[in-house]
Structure 1
Amino acid sequence: MNGEFLQAIEQICKEKGIEKETLLEAIEAALVSAYKKNFGTAQNVRVNMDRDTGAIKVFALKNVVEEVDDEFMEISLQDAMKISPNYTLDDMVEIEVTPKNFGRIAAQNAKQVVVQRIREAERMIVYEQYLEKENEVISGIVQRIEKNNIFIGLDRTEGILPANEQMPNEAYHVNDRIKVYITEVRKTTKGPQITLSRTHPNLVKRLFEMEVPEIVNGQVIIKSIAREAGSRTKIAVFSPNKDIDCVGACVGQRGIRVQQVVDELNGEKIDIIKWNDNPKEYIANSLSPAKVLDVVVDEEDKAARIVVPDNQLSLAIGKEGQNARLAAKLTGWKIDIKSQSQYESYIDNKEL
């Protein structure tokens, strides 16, 4: 333990972003434990490392008393005054007890502490790096599959894609490169725990942001997303600039932009609809690709009755009710769909 050791500590602290004094205090605390363990003592001790030379000294701390009951913890006033005439009762006396061979033990323990603190610092750096990326999309490589959980290799760490965050129509294989959405970053003793998703609606949002510059610069705004992962997504968009076709911007020339998102989502169908502050128009748009004849809204209950042509009823409802369900999720309105003949019959019966 010498000046070169301190220089090495200083260099490590700069590279790893660790406070030098914090590291030295941790080394001193570890050396206290090492001293007690190796020399079988119950003494109250303090270890001091000289900040300039690296020299290490061990001091026994003893309380000044009139009569000594515990020689490890106490010293008589008479003996204390031999060290310094200024000591009085209840003072704490420090007596150097540095063993001759303590340097080797100190070096070994100091190395362990430094390695441990470096690991902790690196874990903290990775944690903070990914905490900033929470709610963002990143690329990763499938590393392994354990108990239906997929472990994704990321830069300097790995994340977990739980079974409930995996798309039902996807098969995952080791070395596959995929885009994932970071839902949560938690600090643990083993480093950051990063939870990923392929099913989150915001994955679709972030993918569109990557493909559509107008979304990034604020010319097109994503107002709402409703998703049944692996099957279908509806996304409502709006532009504050009347000269911009918000749906066309998201679709892209010959559909290239939306196709990039569809490909990344393994063929998931995407309906891009125009948001409108008029509930009737917005709800009608939300049922795309079905054509809507009329929308009757109940503002108080936020419920809407939609009338579609007879040949469009199954399209409006969708397979197993999916289209209607997603439209309701997207708009936040309860939706009841009727064919034109059903609605006319309903009106006639009501009049009767």
Structure 2
Amino acid sequence: MFRRRLFRVFLLTALAASPLAVSGQEPDKEPDPIKWSIKAGSSTSDKKTFQVELTARIDTGWHLYSIEKVEGGPSPTRITLSPGQKFEVTGEIDSPAPRSAYDPNFQVATEFYEGIVPFTIPIRSTTPAAPLDKLRVQVRYQTCTPTICLPPKLIELETPVTGEETKLVSVPTVPENPATLKSLTTGALVPDFNFTDFNGKSRHFSEFRGRVVLLDFWASWCSPCLADIPQLKTAYQKYHAGGFEIIGMDSETLGQKQIDAEFAADARAKAREIVNTRGVNWTQSTSESSVPVAALFGIENLPAKILIDRSGKVVARIRNVSELDELLPRLLTVQP
């Protein structure tokens, strides 16, 4: 008894001191790797038609997915006019040819941009444009590196039709719930939460108490998340019988204050296809259930993995699935 108790104290102390034992979002603020600008060109003599140049400046190491939708691929960039204006798009949006490369995680060739990318939008005013008229453009886009993806983001930009200035306009947001502003830290007891699984069944996190649980926050648009699936399958097969569980926290609408119904429906279908075709046989939580839980841990980008011990306390945020082979043998030995 004394030997087991001493081992447990040693283990918890070692985990607390380990650089792996951090939870929630990184202390740095959320990355902002793409800077957008917009400018309207000169109008024609009838003051009704003109072009708008929208420019994305992409930080090194990041990429922006193209405006063309690739079946089975990531979320494409969508450029539209904000509703309620007296302007309309009159043709195809012109952009440079994107790079194309096979992505083994999506299992398709994806198209993306790097560096500085101009988009030219042909615009027509439904009434003669006045000197003080302003045009508002919305951009929904996704950006990734080889190891991290930021959630699809919606921004609005505004420019006078004279092209004299450019302005980023805040899109109305939903107020944060004060209860979720403080994220859980290492050693914190994870409160019980409800979620709906992919079979439509209502579940509770408390069902898994007494087991070591990995909360795997992922999404169908996150290539690094999909890259982790083979290693997660190996870990699940290796440690499940010893008391290890994975709950897949599908987070398709993470970070989206205004949820696009078409995007959400397409992402839900894609997530289920991934689970069904890639041999994922652990419990999956729907996006509607998962996103509020992500807020508890301060998660703002993907992939994100939270390891929880048998007593329901946060142990570590896993950055590489290979870390499980180091942590799980010890955690599974300790009884709650």
Normalization by structure 2: what TM-score? 0.26
Larger proportion of helix: 1
Structure number with bigger Rg: 1
- Relative contact order (alpha carbons < 8 A, sep ≥ 6): 1 or 2 greater? 2
Normalization by structure 1: what TM-score? 0.25
